[in-house]
């Protein structure tokens, strides 16, 4: 089972953690609710960051449920890794021709 760690320090008046990170060794996936006064995202939106696959700025997720947001984040990172692997494969093929 994957271990999503709570990486947000929150006060006692907050109901639930707002940020989780999954460390896969070669890529870190972080999903979080932005701060309440964020200009780009409402507070109920989960956002994704995964710098190792080029998602440096927060990207809004469709899912509002935390477990669905985790699944969505994994799918997005998976798709990015596939795209990156295909680019490397093409480069190898071009280099060998």
> 17-56, pLDDT tens digit by residue?
789 999 998 999 999 987 666 677 877 899 999 999 999 9
Q: Which two tokens stand for residue 12?
A: 């006692």
- Model confidence at 1, pLDDT cuts 50, 70, 90, reads confident
User: Which residues, 6 or more positions from 32, have their beta carbon under 8 angstroms from its beta carbon?
Assistant: 8, 18, 19, 20, 46, 47, 49, 58
> 54-69, pLDDT tens digit by residue?
999 999 999 999 999 9
The confidence score (pLDDT) of residue 16 equals 67
Which domain covers residue 77, as residue numbers?
A: 5-96
Domain count of the fold of the chain? 1
* For range 1-22, the mean pLDDT: 79
Q: Which two tokens stand for residue 60?
A: 């809004």
End-to-end CA distance of the chain: 43
């Amino acid at each position: 089972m994957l271990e999503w760690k709570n990486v947000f320090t929150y006060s006692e008046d907050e109901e639930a953690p707002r940020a989780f990170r999954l460390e896969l060794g070669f890529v870190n996936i972080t999903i979080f609710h932005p701060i309440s006064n964020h200009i780009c995202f409402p507070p109920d939106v989960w956002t994704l960051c995964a710098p190792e696959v080029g998602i440096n700025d927060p990207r809004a997720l469709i899912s509002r449920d935390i477990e669905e947001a985790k699944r969505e984040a994994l799918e997005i990172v998976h798709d990015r890794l596939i795209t990156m692997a295909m680019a490397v494969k093409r480069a190898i093929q071009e280099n060998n021709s």
